[in-house]
């Protein structure tokens, strides 16, 4: 993995983040707060991003590439869309990773360390918490909608 930090006032990066549908509605100041606790991570095809059963506090926004999500060796989903989010479940309930995430091609992600929320204060803490939980709500609503649709069709449980 190759990793780099972003400068909080980098307008180009903020504009790129706006292309991620779940981040588009946020103000520049909110996105700058997200960048403060984030890094860009580049993974090569086949490289493990996060491993089932491990603990960490990162959520990931896919910028480009693809990510295979698997549980107990069985593929659950392949994420390919800019802005696809993964790693959020273990952050929401502070538990072990429920699935492994592996780069299925050369992949770049924005990795946000949610443990930094406690180190923020005032407006920055509120802004980041708002961004994070709104993104969580959108992701969970979309996945629940897809699961419901698949249930009514009698299809497999590959909902992402």
What was the pLDDT predicted at 3? 67
The parent domain of residue 10 ranges over 2-153
Overall average pLDDT of the 76-86 stretch = 89
12 is a domain residue: yes
The verdict on residue 140 lying in a domain is yes
Place 9 in a pLDDT band, splitting at 50, 70 and 90: very low
Cα–Cα distance, 87 to 50 (Å, whole number): 8
Q: Which own/partner pairs from 112-118 qualify as long-range (CB within 8 Å, at least 24 positions apart)?
A: 112/34, 112/37, 112/38, 112/58, 112/59, 112/60, 112/61, 113/37, 113/38, 113/39, 113/57, 113/58, 114/37, 114/57, 114/58, 114/59, 115/57, 116/36, 116/37, 117/37
Number of domains present in the structure of the chain: 1
Q: Say what the pTM is.
A: 0.78
State the CATH number of the domain containing residue 24.
2.60.120.10
In a domain, 160, yes or no: no
Band of residue 153 on the pLDDT scale cut at 50, 70, 90 = confident
158 found inside a domain = no
Per-residue pLDDT tens over the stretch 41-64 = 999 999 999 999 999 999 999 988
């Amino acid at each position: 993995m190759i990793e780099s930090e972003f400068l909080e006032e980098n307008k180009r990066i903020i504009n790129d983040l706006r292309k991620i549908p779940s981040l588009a509605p946020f103000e520049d100041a909110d996105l700058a707060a997200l960048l403060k606790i984030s890094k860009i991570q580049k993974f090569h095809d086949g490289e493990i991003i996060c491993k089932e059963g491990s603990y960490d506090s990162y959520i990931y926004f896919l910028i480009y590439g693809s990510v295979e999500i698997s549980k107990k060796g069985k593929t659950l989903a392949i994420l390919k869309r800019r802005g696809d989010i993964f790693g959020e479940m273990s952050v929401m309930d502070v538990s072990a990773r429920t699935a492994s995430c592996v780069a299925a091609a050369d992949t770049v992600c924005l990795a946000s360390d949610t443990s930094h929320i406690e180190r923020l204060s005032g407006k920055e803490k509120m802004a980041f918490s708002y961004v994070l939980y709104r993104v969580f709500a959108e992701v969970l609503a979309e996945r629940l909608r897809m699961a419901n649709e698949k249930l009514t069709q009698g299809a497999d449980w590959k909902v992402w």
